[in-house]
Structure 1
């Protein structure tokens, strides 16, 4: 069994078409077909069902694909670890993060890191809160920057960097716009503009409203924080946002006001897998983030 065979197999499984896989791999279709046949012959099972020009995985093929993905991740990580052991400042940091970290927190940290390590490279992926957890658990990524930091997941190690306030954003023409601070009860009759239901930040907001004795009336929802801000600017409702998303981008015709009753916060930090070590360049960035964004407070 050869690594080349496994890579061909994974590409055919992904595209469910031998010709398309061959085109992507820049090799002849016959070469891909031959390697798949050789792999099936060596294993003694059919990995694919042929359907004209298309193929689909057999049940045993699906199982083999999952194990192959795991094996290829291990091989890729081993290769990267050797390379980064020799030159950790020249390696690649693969990190995943939510939309609320995209505008300020992560870009600021990366910019500072690149000043110190100009040859380091980054591969970034944005996702929802639960996608970030699964990406780290499954080995697609070794680091996620997120909030809140999960405390009770044995699959993960969490490290709090800082705690941020959650603040209200109102149209400047709103009757409450001149208040020094707000209570959630004052907002119970307002039309809320929130992130989608799968967003963990939305869950934080809804739970806080429920604890204050009401269910927020959601008039608009969307997965883009800047779009939410724009809707508030157009006087279509109010929203609650992480304070850091308003540091350098407070929309026109809006005002941000602290929420003091209850005082709403969330933890921001890093998660890494419990069963895998960080690669050398990832470890370098992890330690940098701890010093740059927060303090040394290991949760697990």
Structure 2
């Protein structure tokens, strides 16, 4: 068994699919299957059974997959500690990033950081903010970028604040909103609750959801085509000057806002690469949207 074999077990256990695991490891499916059979022969046990819905790990396979995850974590930590002893900013920086931040902010940030610290590699995992929060809490990543007011017990930094907007192709009368078609998109529960609370403060009728799409960008394009209005964070439509936008206001007549945070554990600053990145982020002015967007 080598590192690659343990990685195969760990990834296959998370994906439950031979084809997808092979793609992620840049292997052919037959090559992965052959290697899996060799691992089974080495331990003398059946590790997985194949079914219509993917692979299912045997009890022995579950144990090996669990140990694989533990071993890979230990190897990663050893490499980070050795790199840290060299007093250089080098190694792999593991980031958990919300989908929006990953698309609109992260590429330029990583480019700027890499120009200062060319020996740093990046491992980036994207997802909804609640998933990112889970990853940083469990130390699967060094730093998490999260949108919304999630509870976090350790170190955090507010990066920027967005207004929440009503967006449509043409000007709209707020009084008629419950009877007009709305385009919704898949988002985290925190933002959904923010919008639902605003709606409950202003209307007794539920919204008329005419369409639900998977992403905010898709939602914006549906609005651009005149298929309904949407409620979106302001940065989603910063590049859409021809759309009608109206700030949502609370019952106290203040803007409804959405914050974006950087979360991390204090102890992770003992790693040179994490400390350097946190210091780098503290020097970023997110008000300078042109510089951060890379436009």
The interval holding the TM-score normalised by the smaller chain is 0.7 to 0.9
Residues 1:196 and 2:186 aligned together: yes
Q: Is the 8 A contact 1:160 1:269 kept in 2?
A: yes
Show the counterpart of 2:61: 61
Show the counterpart of 1:174: 171
SS at match of 2:223: helix
SS at match of 2:248: strand
SS at match of 1:250: coil
Shift of 1:269: 0.7
| One of 200, 214, 218 as aligned partner of 1:210 | 200
Shift of 1:96: 2.4
Show the counterpart of 2:291: none
Shift of 1:127: 0.8
Q: Is the 8 A contact 2:49 2:58 kept in 1?
A: no
SS at match of 2:249: strand
- d(CA) in 2 for partners of 1:159, 1:72: 30
Shift of 1:124: 2.7
SS at match of 1:97: strand
Shift of 1:9: 4.7
Q: Is the 8 A contact 1:113 1:288 kept in 2?
A: yes
Residues matched between the structures, number: 274
TM-score by length of 2: 0.72
Q: 1:87 to 1:242 in 2, by over 3 A?
A: farther
5 Å matches for 1:118-157? 118-151=118-151, 153-154=152-153, 157=155
- d(CA) in 2 for partners of 1:222, 1:278: 42
Shift of 1:291: 2.6
SS at match of 1:292: coil
- d(CA) in 2 for partners of 1:211, 1:56: 48
Shift of 1:7: 4.5
Mean alpha-carbon deviation: is it higher for 270-279 or for 233-242?
A: 270-279
Shift of 1:36: 4.0
Structure 2: unaligned runs, 5 residues or longer:
287-295
Residues 1:281 and 2:270 aligned together: no
5 Å matches for 1:238-257? 238-247=229-238, 249-250=239-240, 253-257=242-246
Mean alpha-carbon deviation: is it higher for 63-72 or for 275-284?
A: 275-284
TM-score by length of 1: 0.71
Shift of 1:32: 6.1
Structure 1: unaligned runs, 5 residues or longer:
41-45, 177-183, 295-300
Q: Is the 8 A contact 2:149 2:190 kept in 1?
A: no
Residues 1:260 and 2:249 aligned together: yes
Q: 1:80-120: per-residue Cα shift (whole Å, max 9, x none)?
A: 34235536444333322223224433234334333433453
Q: Is the 8 A contact 1:157 1:274 kept in 2?
A: yes
Shift of 1:266: 1.6
Q: Is the 8 A contact 2:164 2:247 kept in 1?
A: yes
- d(CA) in 2 for partners of 1:86, 1:192: 56
- d(CA) in 2 for partners of 1:175, 1:36: 64
- d(CA) in 2 for partners of 1:231, 1:4: 44
- d(CA) in 2 for partners of 1:28, 1:236: 46
Mean alpha-carbon deviation: is it higher for 119-128 or for 24-33?
A: 24-33
Residues 1:222 and 2:213 aligned together: yes
